[in-house]
Every structure is written in C-alpha cells, then in structure tokens.
Amino acid sequence: MRVLVTGAKGFVGRNLCEALKAIRDGKDRRERFQVLLPLEVMECDIETTADELDGMCAKADFVFNLAGVNRPQDPAEFMAGNFGFASDLLAALERHGNACPVMLSSSAQASLVGRYAGSAYGESKLAGEGLFREYSERTGSPVLIYRFPNLYGKWCRPRYNSAVATFCDAIANGGEYTVNDPSVELELLYIDDLVAEMLSALLGEEHRCGYDGLEEVEGEDFCTCHPTDHVTLGEIVSLLESFKASREDLMVPSLTDGSFSKKLWSTFESYYAEGSRAYPLKANCDDRGSFTEFLRTSDRGQVSINVSEPGITKGNHWHHSKWERFLVVSGEASIRLRRVGLDADGKPFPVDEYRVNGENPMVVEMAPGTTHCIENLSDTKDLVTVMWANEPFDPQNPDTYFEEV
C-alpha cells in the first residue's frame, strides 16, 4: 500500500504520518493493519515540488488531502490555498489515470450556517467539496469528505486556529490568555480519535453520514468521526487549571476511558516547555525515614512512597474503613498484621506475617480492622515501599488508631 499524505507537516498530517510509519516499521503490530504491509508513506508539504507531487500521484493507492490554509493575511488566499491546491492534486491523479480513493479534510464551516455564514474559509472548503464530487463523478474515484469540527491534541499549534492549544500552552507555561465568554460551547474532536478513523478509512471501513446544516443525519455523502465532545470554554480552562494545580495538590481527576478529561490532560501534558517537565514533592522526613505522597484522587485513593531506615518498624496502627496495599520495590521487609480485639477464648488473634522483597514483587493488603506494621529487615539498606490507600488522608478524619501488632 502506497499512501500519499498532503499537508504532512501540519497538525493532522504529522499525527497521521507518525501512525502510518509506526505500522510501516513494525512498531504497531495490531493485526488489522497488517494487510497494509508493505506500506510506503509519501509525505507532501509546502516545500514539495510540482514534479515530486506528480510522481507521488502516479503511484498512490490512497490519498489523504490534509493540505490547506487556515489563517492567511489575505482572505483571498483561502480559495487559492484550499481550492487551488486541491485542483492541482486531482488534475495530477487524473492525468495518470489514477482512480484511487481520495480523502478530503473539509470543515464544519463549509455548512455556511449560523456563525459560519459568509465565512471565506468556509466558502473555500465548500468549493473544495464540490470539486471533489465533480472529480468522483467524472473519474469514478471514491472520495471521502470529512467535515471536521474543532480539533485538539498533541502538536497542535497555539495562537493559530485552536483555542484549546492556546489555553494549553499558556496555562502550562505561565503565559497570559483571555476568555471573553466562558459560556461559548465548542464541538471538539481529539486527534487520536481522528487518526483512528482515518486508518479505518484506509481499510475501507470509513463511517458515512449526511448533514442538515451542522446537524449530522443519515446519509452517504460525507464521512464522519466519532466521538466528539461539546464543552464550554469555561469548562476547558477550569480543567486545564486543575491539571496544572495537580503538581501541588496531587489531585488526579476522573480519567475514565474515552472521557474528555482524559484526552484533554494528555493534550495538556504535551505543551510543557523543555526544562519544565519535572516538579518537586514534599517528603515528610524523621529519624525513621520518609513518607512522600505522590498522587491523590477523589474516588480512587492515594499513592505514596515510604522509605524506612535500616532496622526501623513503621505502622502499628489500624483503620475502621481505610485499607491499603503495600508493594516493596527495594529492600527486604516483614509485614505483620493482626485482627483487632480478642478471639472467642479472650486471647489476641494470631499474627499474620509476610516476608517480602523488591526482587520478588508481592502485594500485601492491610484490611480494615487489622493492625499492621512493616519492618526493614536490613541492617544497612533502606526499605522502599509503594503504598496505595483506598482514600486520601483526611487530617479532619484520619481514621488511624495506634495498636502494637
């Protein structure tokens, strides 16, 4: 399979090309993509010559036309950059008798309804759609026209045509930004979801639809990508600010698979400038070692790192509802647990002991109502333990009660 990608150095083109090259190079081994091999990725961008493009068009098996102009100084450049290049591309394919499938990246603005009425950019995109339809009718070549909403994700250029990219860059790096109306709602499509759809299209598994204005309806005239999210500017900024604050309060929001917050945080992390990807944590130290909280969540507990000096025992306490998991990652430990209270004979319950070490990972659970401790069995080396608790520590309700194991 020989795939031509125009606009290869743009936001969408770069993400698509990297995904294609991962398949080409055997780094993406998912079975469904193996039918594309051997795969050749032909990248076309602004510096590609007309002769080079012509040669690519002669042998392409599939074309992703992602080239276009978004913010020219002169609005007349919209038509030249979006309609004009598409004309040259299709002419080259037709000249070589190449009726391979061609994908066109159009825009919701091509609807020319509502706030998009009179948009020079939308008019150029609509003209491009017409050009592709005429080409398909004339040559029999399949065309796949996608009307994208607002796109976001890694490598999107800030202060250009994406509010999300602009906010991400500013908040991550302490820059200034303005939100004129927090109630403005955007329809957003995540770049990885879009790339997944384009790879499906390459396999002949595109999703089809029609449009009534901006509303998606049943039909075959267009292609579509799901899911999208409808989010206000205020909600976007609030989430981004919480992501930045997590370096201090350690809180992690809901990251449910497919959720907008999960996709937005992945996007946000890609905007930190070089040299600012590390941040300090507060280590609570005493003569026994240290305890450092790493992550907190509102509904899935907290993760901490515990370091115990040689020969030190920590713990000797229990909880009513809180429970924990201990994982020793370096050193050797004795973890002892005992059910609180007395058995039927009025005697203390037996001690349950586990010998664990960092070379043979084993998780030990501290159940509610069970007093527990962890002892460093080494005379010379620190003991390092990853500790997860089912709830973040609350100083107003610590649920921690001293009792020797």
Q: What is the DSSP string of 261-277?
A: HHHHHHHHHTTSPTT-S
**296 to 303, 367, 386, 391: CA distances (angstroms):** 7, 20, 14, 8
Catalytic residues: 121
Q: At what angle do helices 233-249 and 163-172 cross, to 10 degrees?
A: 20
Cα 285 to Cα 180: distance, rounded to the nearest angstrom: 46
> CA of 188: how far to CAs of 18, 108, 153, 226, in Å?
22, 11, 10, 10
CA-based end-to-end distance of the chain:
67
Name the β-bridge partners of 344: none
* Tokens of residue 131, six digits: 């050009």
Q: Comparing C-alpha atoms, which of 342, 204, 191, 320 is closest to residue 264? A: 191
Helical residues (DSSP H) of 203-301, grouped into ranges: 233-249, 260-269
